[in-house]
Copies of this chain bind each other. A is one copy, B any other.
Amino acid sequence: MFLLEDYIKAFRANSIKITPQRLAIFNLLVGNTSHPSADDLYKEVLKIQPSISFATVYNTLDKLVELGLLQKLDIDDEKKHYDPDLSIHHHFLCKACKQIIDIFENFNVNIQPASLNISSLESYQVNFYGKCENCSA
């Protein structure tokens, strides 16, 4: 998990400006295990930066993903979710409450690009679907 200073260093190293809006977003991401959507983050950051616009949230998230500091999850077809934890782990989506639960297991899912039409393998995601305990009670 990254610390605030990791985000700042990375932005500086890439000559991307550090603004109060971005610092507020960085702070929301540090240690965040809730897999927030852009809208979730927007609502939270409004409390610290009441005049922030939605576009700024998207812009900052895009930059973070480009810099490899944030993972975009393709697990929920309704919206994108973001995960600042880049350690190898995967996710479970409860189809009822849409909660995303971390699965801290390192599955052996290597593929041999050479054997397929694939030239570079950059990442992978393992997504599980079902119902969480709350929702099946």
A residues adjacent to B (C-beta < 8 A): 72, 74-77, 80, 92, 94-95, 101, 103, 105, 107-109, 111, 113, 116-137
Contact = CB atoms under 8 A, between A and B. Distances in A.
Contacts of A111: 92, 103, 105, 128
A74 to B, nearest CB: 5
- Tell me how many chains of this kind the complex includes: 2
A107 to B, nearest CB: 5
Given A74-B127, A95-B122, A127-B127, 16 more contacts: A74-B75, A77-B80, A92-B118, A101-B116, A101-B118, A105-B111, A107-B107, A107-B109, A111-B128, A117-B132, A117-B133, A118-B133, A119-B137, A121-B129, A124-B126, A126-B126
Nearest to A79: B77
Contacts of A103: 111, 116
Contacts of A72: 77
A134 to B, nearest CB: 7
Contacts of A75: 74
A118 B101 CA distance: 8
